[in-house]
Amino acid sequence: MCICTEHCYASEVVSAVQTTKTARTVKMALPPPSSPRISQTALLASLWAGVAIAFIAFICRIAIRLKIFKRLFLDDGFLLTGWLMALAISIIWQIEARNMYFAAARRLDVLSPPEYLSRLRRVIRAIFTSHWVLYSSLYCIKLSFLIFFRRIGGIARIQKIVWWTVLGFTVLCYIASIGATAASCKCFFVRDNKILSECWTQKNARTRFFFTIKFASALDVLTDVMIILVPTNILWAVRISLRKKLALAGIFSLTIFIIAAAIARAVAVTSYGLDIDPPLIVFCGGLESTIAVIVACIASFRTLFTRPDRAFTPLNASPGNLEARPPKYVGGDQEDISLESRTKVINHVQNHSF
C-alpha cells in the first residue's frame, strides 16, 4: 500500500514537472500577448447584425421579383448561396469565438498547454475554413451579378464575348484564391505539438498567410472591376434615354462599395506587420460578405422599378425594367423576336398602365 502510494506520488511529481516544462516551452514559443482590437461581444454582434440586414435585403428582393415577374431567376439562387455562406461564417465563429480569444490572449494561466495547443489548432483551422467560405460567398455573389447582367444584356456578339471573358476570368480567380489559401498553411494536417512552430510563430508561415490575403484581395478587386464593364457595355447598347442610362450606371457602380470593402479588409489585416489579429480578420471578412449581399440586392431594386421609355425601349423589354434582352436587328429595322414574346408584352401593356 505504501509502495503504491509513493509510486503514485512520484508519478504525479514527474507529471507536474513535465507539465511545467511544457508550459514554459509554450510560453517561450508564443509571441507576447496582445489585446484584440475587437471584443468578443462586438465581433459576434457585428457578424449576426450583418447577416440579419443582408437577409432582410434579400427577402425584399425576392418579394419584389415574385410580385413583378411571378418567378425567381438563377442569379437569385447564387445570391442565396452567397448569403448562406455568410451565415456559415457567423455560425463558425459563434462556436469558435471563445477559443479564438483564449488563443489571442495566450491564456496559459487558465488552460493546460495540451489543451491550449488543441484550441489553438481549432482556431487556425476555423480561420482558414472561414476564408474558404468567404471567398466562395463573394464569388457566388459575383456570379449572381454576371447572370443578372446577362439577362438584361443583348444577344449581340460583342456582348457575348465580353460576358464569357469576364465569367471565365472570374472562375479562374476563384480557383486561384482557394488554391493560394490552401497552400499558405498546412495546419489541417499538423499535430498539436507542432502547431506553434509550423503555423503560429514561424515567420515564413505568417508571411505566406498575409501574402495570401493580399493576393486574394487583389483578385477580388480585379474581378469586381471587370464585372462593372459588363453592364457598362450593355447600357450603351440599350435603347433608353441618357438620363436612365446614367441612373442605372450609378446603381451598377455600387459594386465600388464591395471593392472598397475588399481593399479595407486587406489593409486592416496586414497593416500591423506580422502581428496576426484573428478577431480583426474575422470581422473584416464577415463585413465584406454581408456588404456584398446587400449591394447585390440594392443594385437590382432600381432595375426592378424602372419603367421603360415607350419611344426608345425595345418591344421585348420586360415588365417595368430592362430584365429582358433587347431585340436582335437583322438588316435594318427587322426585329428577330418571337410571337410569344410579343404576345407577353402586349398582354402586360394591356394589364398595366405606365
The predicted pLDDT at position 188 comes to: 56
CA 156, CA 350: separation in Å to the nearest integer?
30
The predicted pLDDT at position 275 comes to: 63
Q: What is the DSSP string of 78-129?
A: HHHHHHHHHHHHHHHHHHHHHHHHHHHTT-TTTS-HHHHHHHHHHHHHHHHH
CA 311, CA 239: separation in Å to the nearest integer?
9
The predicted pLDDT at position 150 comes to: 81
User: For each of the chain's 354 residues, which pLDDT tens digit applies?
Assistant: 443 433 333 333 333 334 444 444 444 444 445 566 788 899 999 999 999 999 999 999 999 888 888 888 899 999 999 999 999 999 999 999 888 887 766 655 555 667 777 777 788 888 888 989 999 999 999 999 898 888 766 556 788 888 899 999 999 999 999 988 877 766 655 555 555 555 555 566 667 777 888 898 899 999 988 888 887 777 766 666 777 777 777 777 777 888 888 888 777 776 655 566 788 888 888 888 998 999 888 876 655 544 444 433 433 344 444 444 444 433 333 333 343 444 443 344 333 332
CA 261, CA 87: separation in Å to the nearest integer?
18
Can you give the length of the chain in residues?
Answer: 354
The predicted pLDDT at position 42 comes to: 92
The predicted pLDDT at position 192 comes to: 53
The predicted pLDDT at position 137 comes to: 95
CA count, 13 A, side-chain hemisphere, 102? 20
The predicted pLDDT at position 257 comes to: 80
Which grid cell is 30?
A: 508564443
The CATH code of the domain at 35-311 is 1.20.1070
The predicted pLDDT at position 198 comes to: 57
* First-residue to last-residue Cα distance in the chain: 98
CA 146, CA 150: separation in Å to the nearest integer?
6
Q: Which residue has the cell 498547454?
A: 113
